[in-house]
Structure 1
């Protein structure tokens, strides 16, 4: 999936000191990303370290509370709506779940209708019906090919229900549905969940192929593959916690010396006050 001019459709993703705090504390904090267009970005870490929240924040679906990030020339959180327009989500539990009662063909038809109605320009809606159908078919065929999903090999072909798909087939379907919109940034959650070693290798090969020929891919996983741009939420959380512990220790030390003003000069007193202020802001 390339632009008409032959340039890759991927987009750069950068972040510095990126964090998101919710009602129960920090979902993630201190994240740094530096990825070129068309990169495969692996968000690595154990469950519960804010991996999905980071994925949603980088694709413009959750508002960060600290630091900054850029998707191409678009800044987060200021231009979240613009980032959403050029990004798409593959499988994200609780956000883009496939309906197990629907068939593969029904999911594809539904996504194509939504894309034509809400994702296209007014000019595209005014084109002749035959031209619109041909364009839609081309988008679908391209998305299915990029996702490596061959409908003919499914148990009941296009009429196969989602509940009858293997996990890897469901992943391919979710990716294909996202690619129908021709995004420049694709988010995929839990890539390696409940997959065998062989299936995991196949899933990463799929996403690497998508990134090389189409959008930049951000994929959540427990273990990143070789060659990916790795962003560790566990490491970022540990570093942020260490910083907070250091600040707390400095605050405690300042408190212990608060009654010994005759042993410190004005500069040391000011330094202790600054440490306490920094701890409060953290």
Structure 2
């Protein structure tokens, strides 16, 4: 893996998150260097989303220990949130169907216009701001492999008119505009064809090779990914062919509602 950029190392030992009615996930171990591609696999309801939220400082772990980019969780959750980004996470980082691609990109550019080399941390409005915003947008689109010219109405295409892979690329572009050390992506292969799955995973591999640590939930991950599995309690895990470190998994009765409750308790970034 290319570690020339500022990807986050991830180290976790026996981490778990307990919700109002049980464990969302439990006993997960991860050792990943900066620029790794970490694939979280497991059936629906096994805590995959909660694990992504925990590793990005958006859900408080209740047992075990972890560090992301050298910062301990849960003690430094706020610091970790500032160095990570989410993409394609239902109920947390979602696209607005009625907005256009251009509107989403402009909104994220405005949110990310704080620059450390300008007085007060903000780039003044005007030509300089527009140029910086345009450069940030172009870089994000290139990183996500989304070419507006291929869309039905270009940047004026609404999210509801995007193909599923295009929507995934847009969500990732919005996330990488904040230049995260770690990017977490949920449901990578949701309702994608086998060919589209391969393209989605190749995109994430390319981001990791460029230096950003990527944690993604899905199936059919590439062979060189670090596999972490969440498994319903009482179910034996198959032998893991990849050099991954994982744990005993989660309780089978954990629901999306419980995950939402636990997320609310932890506090949103």
Map of 1:248 onto structure 2? none
Measure the CA separation in 2 of the matches of 1:214 and 1:131.
28
Of the candidates 177, 185, 191, which is equivalent to residue 188 of structure 1?
185
- Structure having the higher helix fraction is 1
| Unmatched segments (≥5 aa) in structure 1 | 245-282
1:148-193 C-alpha deviation (Å, 9 max, x unpaired): 0000110011100100000000000000000111111101000011
- For the pair shown, the structure with the greater C-alpha radius of gyration is 1
**Residues 40, 235 of structure 1: alpha-carbon distance in 2 compared, 3 angstrom cutoff:** farther
Map of 1:230 onto structure 2? 227
* TM-score normalised by length of structure 1: 0.79
Equivalence map 1:205-220=2 (5 Å): 205-220=202-217
Residues paired across the two proteins, number: 237
Compute the displacement of 1:72 (Å): 1.7
Map of 1:260 onto structure 2? none
Measure the CA separation in 1 of the matches of 2:178 and 2:29.
28
Does the CA-based 8 Å contact 2:37-2:215 persist in structure 1? Answer: yes
Compute the displacement of 1:11 (Å): 1.2
Measure the CA separation in 2 of the matches of 1:66 and 1:237.
20
| Unmatched segments (≥5 aa) in structure 2 | 237-246, 252-269
Higher relative contact order (CA 8 A, sep 6+): 2
Map of 2:128 onto structure 1? 131
1:179-227 C-alpha deviation (Å, 9 max, x unpaired): 1111111010000111111000000000100111141100001343311
Map of 2:86 onto structure 1? 89
1:72-118 C-alpha deviation (Å, 9 max, x unpaired): 210000000000001011110111111111110011011111112xx
Of the candidates 187, 191, 199, which is equivalent to residue 202 of structure 1?
199
